């Protein structure tokens, strides 16, 4: 009987503090590093197509991880223009949309990946006029984003993230 009180007090502390959850405020414009996992090309992608990239590094606020590295990031191809004739370069813009916090809530993001291939318009026209008109069919370079390329995305709005204590 005499051991009951300490045990009850111990249980009280475990229940109160052991399983408590921290709430962290993720403020607006917090940097989230987004990384591509595969190479992306303006030749293969279409405008409006949805892509999944990943978070490159943990997002830590007040010593707590609110978004883990490797979490999928939803992105949309904002514009994809393939390289064209007369040396026209390809362009690719990918807009970063959202990711998921450790508590499962969706975090809206703002950011983009942009790339433009090398234009060969001058060379194509010069060669087409001087040497052979077929040179006008020469295409510019595609807009490519290499695998592992990173970009800075910022959070939109404030979010309350619930972090379960271990």
Question: What residues make contact with another protein under the rule CB under 8 A?
Answer: 28-31, 33, 35, 56-57, 149-150, 152, 154
Residue whose CB is less far from another protein, 86 or 110: 110
> In 10 A of CB 162, how many CB atoms?
14
* Dist CA 155 CA 64 (whole Å): 17
Cβ atoms 32, 67 nearer than 8 A: yes
Smallest separation, CB 10 to another protein (Å): 39
Residue whose CB is less far from another protein, 135 or 149: 149
Smallest separation, CB 14 to another protein (Å): 34
* Dist CA 64 CA 148 (whole Å): 25
Cβ atoms 156, 106 nearer than 8 A: no
Residue whose CB is less far from another protein, 46 or 152: 152
Smallest separation, CB 150 to another protein (Å): 4
126: enclosing H helix or E strand: helix 121-130
Residue whose CB is less far from another protein, 77 or 153: 153
* Dist CA 59 CA 74 (whole Å): 17
């Amino acid at each position: 009987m005499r051991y009951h009180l300490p045990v009850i007090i111990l249980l009280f502390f475990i229940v109160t503090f052991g399983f408590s959850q921290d709430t962290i405020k993720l403020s607006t414009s917090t940097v989230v590093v987004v990384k591509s996992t595969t190479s992306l090309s303006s030749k293969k992608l279409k405008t409006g197509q949805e892509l999944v990239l990943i978070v490159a590094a943990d997002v830590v606020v007040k010593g707590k991880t609110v978004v883990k590295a490797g979490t999928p990031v939803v992105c949309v191809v904002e514009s994809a223009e393939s390289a064209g004739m007369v040396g026209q370069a390809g362009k690719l813009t990918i807009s970063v949309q959202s990711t998921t916090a450790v508590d499962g809530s969706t975090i809206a993001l703002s950011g983009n990946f942009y790339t433009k291939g090398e234009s060969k318009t001058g060379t194509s026209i010069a060669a087409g006029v001087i040497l052979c008109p077929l040179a006008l069919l020469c295409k510019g370079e595609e807009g490519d984003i290499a695998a592992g390329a990173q970009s800075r995305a910022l959070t939109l709005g404030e979010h309350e993230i619930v972090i379960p204590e271990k």
